[in-house]
Amino acid sequence: MLRTSLLLSVALLAHPAFAETAGIEKDQLTLGFIKLTDMAPLAIAKEKGFFEDEGLYVTLEAQSNWKVLLDRVIAGELDGAHMLAGQPIAATIGYGTKGAVVTPFSMDLNGNAITVSNAVWDEMKAHVPMGADGKPAHPIPASALKPVVEAYADRGEAFNLGMVFPVSTHNYELRYWLAAGGLNPGFYSPEDVSGQIEGDVLISVTPPPQMPATLEAGTILGYSVGEPWNQAAVAKGIGVPVITDADIWKNNPEKVFGLTAQFAEENPNTVLALTKALIRAAIWLDENDNANRAEAVEILARPEYVGADAAVIANSMTGTFEYEAGDKRAAPDFNVFFRYNATFPYYSDAVWYLTQMRRWGQIAEDKADGWYDETAKSVYKPELYKAAAEAVIADGHATAEMFDFDADGYREPTAEFIDGVTYDGKTPNAYIDSLTIGLKTGQTVSGGAVN
C-alpha cells in the first residue's frame, strides 16, 4: 500500500536519473488553470523543472471561469487543463459543453469548504453544540442551518448560496451536506437547468475568486469553494467557514488533469511525459510530511498563479484551517496531493459524480449499473497513469512501494460521509436509492416538479 509519509531514500534523491521522455509528439504546450491552490501540481511541475526534465516546454494560463477553460480545451486552444473532476464526465455524456475529454491523473483530495456570512453564522450558532474548549464542535451539520433557512422562508426571503459550476465537486458537496441535514438543495430538469426546482435554498454559480466580494455584497449568504477563497473570507472578516469537504466525504477526489481524447490518442508520449511530471510534482508537495509546503505557498502566491496573500494560502496549505477568526485547527489533510493514492484516477470516483448527477436530475432518467461503469472507463484512464508511474519509478524519482496500482480501478466501499451512508461504486443505483433526499429509481423531473 501507499506509504503516508513519502520518505524517499537519500540515495534516490542523490542520484536521480534525468531521462527525457522519448518520442514526444508536441513539446510546446499551453495548459489552463483556475486561480485555486489545488492547481499546485501544475505550478510545481513548471517551477521545479519537472516538465523540462521530460522535454516539455509549458506555458500556464489562468482562465476566467470553468466554462471558458473547458471550451478552450475542447476547441484545442489549450492542450490540457486543471479541471473540476465532474467536467470531463459531463462533457463526455453531453451535459453542458459536449466533448470527449479524458483524464490520466487525479490532482488532489479534499481542499474545499463551505462558508456562510457572519450574520448567518450568528444565527446558526444557537444550534451548534460547543466542545469542552468552548468552541463550536465540528463537523457542523446542515441541520444547524435548517432553522435559519426556515426563518428566511417565513419572512418570504430567498436563501441564496453560491458554488463554482453545475458539475463541480463544490456543487455536489454543498448539496450532499444540505441534504444530509434535511434541506432540499433543488433539482435540475432538461427544461430548467437552474438546479432550483423544489429547493429549500437557491444555489447559483459564482466564479471562485469572486466569492468573497459576492458574499460581502449580500448577493449570496454562503458558498462552497476551494482555497484560498474560504480563508479569504475569514481574513476579510466577512464570513465563517463551517465545514470542510473532508468532513463531508473524507479524502474525496477534487480536481483532475483533463485533455481531449483526440489529443491523448495523437500524442501518447506527450501525455506520458505530462503525467510523469505531474506525479513528481504531487510527490514533492506531500513528501516528508508536507515539508515543502512553505515553498509551495510562496510559489502559489505569485500573481501568475493564485495571486492571493501568502498568509491566507498558508492557512490551509500548511496543515491548518481557520474557522472563526482565531479558531485555527489542525488539518494536515486539508490538501492532499499524493498520499492515500490521491493521484490515481479511480473509476469509482467518476461513478460517484455520475450518481450525484442522477440524484439531482442532471441525468434525467435511470441508467443501468453497467452504463456507469462504461462511462467511467471512457473518461478515467488508470492505464495511462500506471505507465507514467512505472516510468517515474524506472527514472529513479520514486519507489514502487509509494504506489498502489489498484487491480480493477475501484476503491473499496466507504461510509466515511457525514451521513454515514455507504458508497460502493460497483452498485451505483442501490447507492442512489439509499440516499434520503434525491431522485430514486423511476423518478424524473418535469413541469417544475419531481414525478
pLDDT digits over 60-107, tens only?
A: 999 999 999 999 999 999 999 999 999 999 999 999 999 999 999 999
Cis bond before residue 139 (omega within 30° of 0): yes
Residue 12: band (very low, low, confident or very high) from pLDDT cuts 50, 70, 90: very low
Specify whether 317 is located in the same domain as 236: no
CB 8 within 8 A of CB 287: yes
CA 218, CA 157: separation in Å to the nearest integer? 13
Within-domain flag for 396: yes
Mean pLDDT of the chain: 94
Q: In this structure, what are the phi and psi dihedrals at residue 227, rounded to the nearest 5 degrees?
A: -80, 150
Do 266 and 384 sit in the same domain of this protein? yes
Domain end: 216, 251, 286, which one? Answer: 251
Cell representation of residue 39: 492547481
Q: By C-alpha distance, which of 216, 241, 239 is closest to 334?
A: 241
Percent of the chain clearing pLDDT 70 (strictly above): 96
Taking only the tens place, the pLDDT of each residue in 388-437 is 999 999 999 999 999 988 789 999 999 999 999 999 999 999 999 999 99
Residues 164 and 245 in one domain: yes
Rg of the Cα atoms in the chain: 21
| 363 within domain boundaries | no
CATH number for the domain that contains residue 208: 3.40.190.10
In a domain, 433, yes or no: no
Decide which of 219, 251, 283 is a domain's last residue. 251
**Of 233, 251, 269, which residue is a domain's last?**
251
Looking up cell 426563518, which residue turns up?
A: 151
Do both 241 and 265 map to the same domain? no
Measured at the CA of 116, the angle between CA 114 and CA 121, to 5 degrees, comes to 125
User: Would you say residue 110 has pLDDT above 70?
Assistant: yes
Q: How does DSSP assign 130-167, residue by residue?
A: B-TTSSBPSSPPGGGTHHHHHHHHHTT---EEEES-TT
Kindly state the cell numbers that stand for 233.
473570507
Angle at which helix 169-180 crosses helix 86-93, to 10 degrees, equals 100
Please say whether the beta carbons of 76 and 260 come within 8 A: yes
Residues 352-373 have a mean pLDDT of 98
pLDDT of residue 423: 98
Q: How many CB atoms lie within 10 A of CB 408?
A: 11
Instruction: Kindly list the distances between the CA atom of residue 125 and the CA atoms of 121, 135, 136, 211, 244, in Å, as whole numbers in the listed order.
Output: 6, 10, 8, 22, 17
Whether residue 298 lies inside any domain: the answer is: yes
Let me know whether 129 and 44 are in one domain: no
| For residue 17, pLDDT beyond 80 | no
Task: Examine residue 445 and state whether it is found in any structural domain, yes or no.
Answer: no
Q: What is the per-residue pLDDT for 3?
A: 40
Write the pLDDT tens digit of every residue in 169-212: 999 999 999 999 999 999 999 999 999 999 999 999 999 999 99
Q: How many helices (H) and strands (E) does the chain have?
A: 19, 16
Separation CA 403–CA 1 (nearest Å): 7
**Shared-domain flag, residues 130 and 24:** no
Structure confidence by residue, pLDDT tens digits, 128-170 = 999 999 999 999 999 999 999 999 999 999 999 999 999 999 9
Q: How many domains does the chain have?
A: 2
Answer yes or no: do 28 and 147 share one domain. no
8 A C-beta contact, residue 227 and residue 313: yes
Task: Please give the residue range of the domain that contains residue 202.
Answer: 112-251
Distance CA 266, CA 24 (A): 11
pTM: 0.94
pLDDT at residue number 142? 98
143 and 211 within one domain: yes
Exposure string of 386-396, with b = 16+ CB inside 10 Å and e = fewer, is bbbbebbbebb
Helix ranges restricted to H, 7-155? 10-14, 40-47, 50-53, 66-75, 86-93, 118-124, 146-154
Do 207 and 287 fall within a single domain? no
Report how far residue 204's alpha carbon sits from residue 179's, in angstroms, rounded to the nearest whole number: 17
Judge if 216 and 327 occupy the same domain: no
In a domain, 442, yes or no: no
Cis status of the peptide bond prior to 228, with omega within 30 of 0: yes
Residue 341 has what pLDDT?
96
Residues 102 and 127 in one domain: no
Q: Indicate whether 247 and 139 sit together in one domain.
A: yes
Residue 410 resides in a domain: no
34 DSSP 8-state letter:
-
Q: How long a stretch of residues is the chain?
A: 451
Please say whether the beta carbons of 169 and 252 come within 8 A: yes
Q: What is the mean pLDDT of residues 341-359?
A: 98
